[in-house]
Amino acid sequence: MPKYLSFALATLLSVNVFAQTEQQNAEFESENTVAKLACYYQQDYVTAEKIWQKWAEQGNPRAKSNLGYLYLRGCTSPYNPKGRPELNHIKAIPLLEEAAQAGVIQAQYLLGDYLSGDGHPEKERLRGMKFLEQSAEQGHELAQNQLAYLYLTLGNQNHDKYYYWTRKAAEQGNADSQRRLAIGLDEGKYLKRDCKQAEGWIRRAAEQNDGETYKLLVHWYQNGSACFKKDAAEAAKWQQKVDEYHEKFSDALQKEINGETH
């Protein structure tokens, strides 16, 4: 076969493969949207599982990640078991490992969060930290927040890395990290004390209606701290926020238990 014909044939084949790949990607995106709606809004895990299982068997790493999530955590709130699939960690972990190794950030976070949890052997928890770090380095806010916590609580404490990842997550708007960063800046033990920054970060966390932040502000204004002077009026204001938060949480939880929300 002449060289120019071979080149033309190879070009035609590559164009056809590209077109087929594009079509498959479009089909997956469409069906993935249907599965997510079924899983998270309609509590129809059967439909979600069927769709993701189909694409996972074809090797789609995002489908493996979503199916792993379904088996690991289920579609619905843990307070509302209606429509909730039977969780199956044995099925979930291999799917998440394959997806994580393929570079799916969400799978890296889910696998890392699960393996690094309390109750697992330290070797497994350290392996989980590696997956969390992969996800955190790609900007996953929850992975950054969890990784920071582990650097403070697992193995030899590393305060430099703890505050590095805490700040990274705080800058992305994670209220838990914003609160913990404010504490570090107020204490001035491992970070240089900076009351202006401490106040800024704690206010940002409070603006997100974070109940733990409300409690911390009550404590600071009742007892005083390096950056926050005692102030009975401020303590009372934030205590009211705490009470309102608990009331809303209790009402929402009761509605979920009664199956009144979706």
Tens-digit pLDDT profile for residues 160-205: 999 999 999 999 999 999 999 999 999 999 999 999 999 999 999 9
Using a pLDDT cut of 90, give the percent of the chain over it. Answer: 67
The pair of three-digit structure tokens given for residue 33, joined into one six-digit string: 């949207």
CB atoms under 10 Å from CB of 42, counted, come to: 15
pLDDT at residue 251 tops 90 = no
Indicate the pTM of the whole model: 0.81
Strands (E), the chain: none
CB atoms under 10 Å from CB of 185, counted, come to: 23
Tell which wins on pLDDT, 62 or 23: 62
Q: What is the pLDDT of residue 78?
A: 47
The pair of three-digit structure tokens given for residue 128, joined into one six-digit string: 């989980």
Q: With bands split at pLDDT 50, 70 and 90, how would you rate the model's confidence at 223?
A: very high
Q: With bands split at pLDDT 50, 70 and 90, how would you rate the model's confidence at 20?
A: low
CB atoms under 10 Å from CB of 148, counted, come to: 28
- Give the closest residue to 154 by CA, choosing from 106, 108, 121, 191: 121
**Distance between CA atoms of residues 224 and 219, nearest Å:** 8
Q: What is the pLDDT of residue 40?
A: 80
The answer to whether 48 and 35 have CB atoms below 8 angstroms apart is yes
pLDDT at residue 144 tops 60 = yes
pLDDT at residue 262 tops 50 = no
Sorted by sequence, the CB contacts under 8 Å of residue 157 that are 6+ apart come out as 151
